[in-house]
Structure formats: C-alpha cells, structure tokens
Structure 1
Amino acid sequence: MSRIVYVNGEFVPEEDAKISVFDRGFLFADGVYEVTSILDGKLVDFPGHMTRLARSLSELEMDAPVSDEEMEAIHRRLIVENDLTEGLIYLQVTRGAADRDFTYPVGVKPSLVLFSQAKQLADTPMAEKGLKIAFVEDIRWGRRDIKTVQLLAPSMCKMAAKAQGCDDAWMIEDEHITEGTSNNAYIVTKDGAIVTRNLSNSILHGITRAAVLRLAAEAQIRIEERPFTPEEARNAQEAFVTAASSFVMPVVEVDGVTLGDGTPGPIAKRLRELYIAEARAAAI
C-alpha cells in the first residue's frame, strides 16, 4: 500500500502529492520544519515541537497554516493511515506559492506538507556501536536557531564526513564546536561533567536536548553549557549527540581519536535509557 501524506488540506497517496512550482520553499528555501518521533504509535515531545515551530514562524514573519490542535489531528491521522508504530513524522511549512520575487509576498496562504517515515528508533544497532565523528568547517548561515528547510550546508558537511569514513560531522566556528549536522553535540569530561554549547543563534534549540539536560540534572550529573574546543572533544572521556530522530546516540570516535575504550560510554547509555523510558511514558 502506498504511503499516505498530507498536502495543503488533503491526505493523498505519495505519488499523487503535488506542490506548486512557485512555492517559495522550492524557490527560496523559505520555510521551516519540525520532526516528531513516534513510539508505540504515540507522539513524543509534541508540545515542545509546536512551541519551537511557532517561534520559527514568528522569526520569519510567517503565518501558521493551522492551529496546534489541527496539527496534532493531522499527525494522528497519518499514524493511523500509515499504521505507524515507530518512526518519524516530518512537517514543513513554507510561505506559500507566489511569482518569484525576493521580497515576501502579501496575502499568500502558507503551504503545509507532512509525511511519515517508519524507522527503528529505540532499538537500533548504531546505539550499541556508537558514531564516528569528523570535524568540518561550519558553513551555515547565522540563524541556526530557526529550524529552516535550507539544509544544503549541513548536507555538504555530512557528505564530507562520509568521505572520511565517518558517520557524521561536528562543525567548527571560531575554533569551537557548534553542533552536529542534524543534532546537538556533547562531550563528557574526564571528571564526569557533560559539556554542550549554550543556546544562542549559533545552534538549534533542540527539543530532545532540553529533555536530556533535564534528565541529566535529575540524575545529579554536572552540566556545563558553554562552547567547547576540538581539542576538548579529542580529550573527552565520552561523547554523544541528541536529536528527535536518534534520541541519545553515543559517539566513540572524534577526528580519528578513539574515546575511552572505543565503546559507548556509561553516561550516554544511561541518558539514552532514561530518555526512552520517559518518552514512552509521556508520549501522547
């Protein structure tokens, strides 16, 4: 059976989904997106994603296409239509379709597209193996706090990491790590402190990041929110990344340097367990 997707008010088979050639998401990457994890057929951290979506839209002076309640209903129908037990639902809002012009059009209705992806999230081999991370220059624009659809720069960075035989890249700006190509980055120091970059325009304000830092604090793990250097990463006891699409994912190698004994570290493993347990309990 074909996957059912949502396009501007209609649920249609993916092969019948159509968007205007004049849509500004296509012409200018003038749009934002969110991705919500699905566990046991339920939505994980959904209110947080809606709050961040509202902020992204506001920062770009873009109208919301539907209410939060309507957005939730669309998500729930996609879960049912696609018999989705575990995976992801992506939503994308663009400014809408208008003749090509750099200035924002007036009176144009935003476009809204959602689709699902079945994916193993809770029990994945990579969580047992751990990621290998390359370092690359951060070539993205200055407003990374807005979750825009302009993802070519992080795609290029991820491909550069793949070319080095790594799984992902951590990006460097002004001699400090910003974040991963599609995740927030963390190191654990030799004395057991978690270090991750503080919130600013330089990184995405991760929904999973907020939950994991709260869980770490409740577990009485010391947290330092500050920029850290590549050298600190190479000297770390362990490391990990967080994202809605991967939860807490251990890192076992950075820039060719093996961390610890080369296996996922205890803090990353514990935080992954805590996050998944809470996600299952709190999902709606």
Structure 2
Amino acid sequence: MSRIVYVNGAYVPEEEAKISVFDRGFVFGDGIYEVSAVIDGKLVDNDAHMARLGRSLKMIDVPAPMSDEDIIAMQNELIKRNNLTEGVVYMQITRGAADRDFVYSKDMTPSLVAYTQVKNLTASAAQKNGIAIHVVEDIRWQRRDIKTVMLLAQVLAKQEATAHGCQDAWMQEDGYITEGASSSAFIITEDGTLIVRPNSNAILPGCTRIAMLKIAEEQNLKVEDRRFTLEEAFKAKEAFQTSASGFVTPVVKIAGTVIADGKPGPITRSLQEKYIEVAKAV
C-alpha cells in the first residue's frame, strides 16, 4: 500500500499528492517547514517544533493554515494511517499559489503539505559509531533562525561532504563554526565543558538542542553558550550534533582530523542514551 500524504485538507495516496506549479514554495522557496521525530508511534519534542513553526510563519508573514490543535491532529492521523512506528513527520507550509510575482497579496491562502518517512532514529550506525564531518563555508542568507525551505546551500554542503567521504557537514563563518547543514553543533572541552553557539539570526534554534541541554543541566554538566573555532573543535575531547532525525549523533572526525581517540565519548554516550530514554517515555 502506498504512503498516505496530507495535501491542503485531504489525505491521499502519494501518487495523487499534487500542488500547483504556481505554488510560491516551488517558485520562490517562499515557505517554511518542520520535521518532528516519531518513536513508538508517538511524536517527540513536538511542542517545541510547533512553537518554532509558529515563529517561522510570523517571521515571513504567512498566516497559519489551521490551529495548532488541528495540525497536531493531522500529524497523528498521518502516523496512524501510515502505521509509522519510528521515523519523522515532515510538514511544509508555503504562502500559497498565484501567478509569478515577487510581491505577494495579503489575502493568499497558505498551502500545507505533510508526510511521514520511516527512519531508524534510535539505533542507527551513525549513532553507534559516530560520523565524519566535512567543513564548508557558510554561504546562506542572514536569517538562518527561520526554518525556510530555501535549502540549496545545505544541499550543496551535504553533497560536498559525501564527495569527501563524510556523512555530514558543518559550516563556518568568520573563523567560527555556525552549525551543521541540518543540525546543531557541539564540542566538549578537556575539562568536560559543553560548548554550543548561542541562538541568534546566524543559526536555527534547534528543538532537539533544547531537550538535550535540559538533560545536560540535569546531569550537572557545565555549559557555555559561545562561538567556537574549527581549531577548538580539532582539540575537543568529544564532539556531537543534534537534530530531529539524528537525535544525539557522535562526531569522531572533523575535516580529516580525528577527535580524541576516534570513538564516541562517554559524555556524548550518556546524553545520547538519556535523550532516547526521555523520548520513549513521552
């Protein structure tokens, strides 16, 4: 049976899921998206994702197509109809469809599309063994805190990482790491301090990051909100990244430099295990 997709009020087989060629998300990248994890058929950190969805819509002046309660009900209906046990629910809201014009009408009807994807979130090879990171220059626009569908820079970064035999990419700007191509980047210093870049327009405020930092606080880890350089990352005791589709993923090599002994470290392992434990307890 084919996957069921939600398109503007209707649940349809993926082969029948269609949007207009004039949709501004397709024509201009004029829209935003969210990805919520699912474990044991239940949404993970979804309150944070819904809050960020609302913020992103406000930032680009797009009205919500329906209430938060209705969106959550739709997510759960997709999970049910697709028998999703573990994976993600992807949602995309665009300004809507109209003849091509940079200037948009205030009375446009937003478009909402959503679907599920089966993914191994809790026991992937990346989580078990860690990943190698390629580093690229951050060439994105200046409002990275908005979760826009304009992802060409991230596509190119991940493609370049793959070409270099790496599993993902981190971006740098003015000598400092900003974030991963689709993740928040962390290092742990020799004294066990967790370093993460402060939220600003330069990075996306990660939802998994929020939950992970709460766990770090409960484990009495020292956390510093500050920028860090690539050189600091090379000298780190441990490194990892967080995302809705990767949870807490160890990083064992950065730009060809092996981090510590090249294996996921004990602090990362502890955060990883506790995050999955908390997620499953929802």
TM-score (ref. length: structure 1): 0.98
- In structure 1, the residue matched to 2:90 is 90
Pairing of 1:46-85 with structure 2 (within 5 A): 46-85=46-85
Give the fraction of aligned pairs with identical amino acids, expressed as a percent.
56
- In structure 2, the residue matched to 1:102 is 102
C-alpha displacement of 1:48:
0.9
- In structure 2, the residue matched to 1:244 is 244
Alignment partners' CA distance in 2, 1:46 and 1:128: 25
Alignment partners' CA distance in 1, 2:280 and 2:148: 28
SS in structure 1 at match of 2:281: helix
- In structure 1, the residue matched to 2:4 is 4
C-alpha displacement of 1:106:
2.5
> Residues 90-141 of structure 1: CA distance to partner in whole angstroms, max 9, x if unpaired?
0000000011111122211100000000111111121111010111100111
Q: Is the 8 A contact 2:235 2:260 kept in 1?
A: no
Deviates more, 1:258-267 or 1:53-62: 258-267
Unaligned runs of 5+ in 2: none
Alignment partners' CA distance in 2, 1:104 and 1:211: 37
Alignment partners' CA distance in 1, 2:228 and 2:10: 46
> Residues 155-178 of structure 1: CA distance to partner in whole angstroms, max 9, x if unpaired?
101111111111111101011000
Pairing of 1:97-136 with structure 2 (within 5 A): 97-136=97-136
Alignment partners' CA distance in 1, 2:121 and 2:161: 22
Alignment partners' CA distance in 2, 1:48 and 1:230: 29
- In structure 2, the residue matched to 1:208 is 208
Residue-pair matches, total? 282
Task: Return the letter of the residue paired with 1:86.
Answer: E
Alignment partners' CA distance in 2, 1:49 and 1:180: 18
- In structure 2, the residue matched to 1:146 is 146
Alignment partners' CA distance in 2, 1:52 and 1:128: 29
SS in structure 2 at match of 1:74: helix
Alignment partners' CA distance in 2, 1:50 and 1:150: 19
Alignment partners' CA distance in 1, 2:196 and 2:47: 23
Alignment partners' CA distance in 2, 1:239 and 1:252: 7
**2:237 is the counterpart of 1:233:** no
SS in structure 2 at match of 1:273: helix
CA RMSD of aligned residues (A): 0.7
TM-score (ref. length: structure 2): 0.99
Alignment partners' CA distance in 2, 1:70 and 1:76: 10
- In structure 2, the residue matched to 1:17 is 17
Task: Return the letter of the residue paired with 1:155.
Answer: V
- In structure 2, the residue matched to 1:35 is 35
Alignment partners' CA distance in 2, 1:80 and 1:157: 34
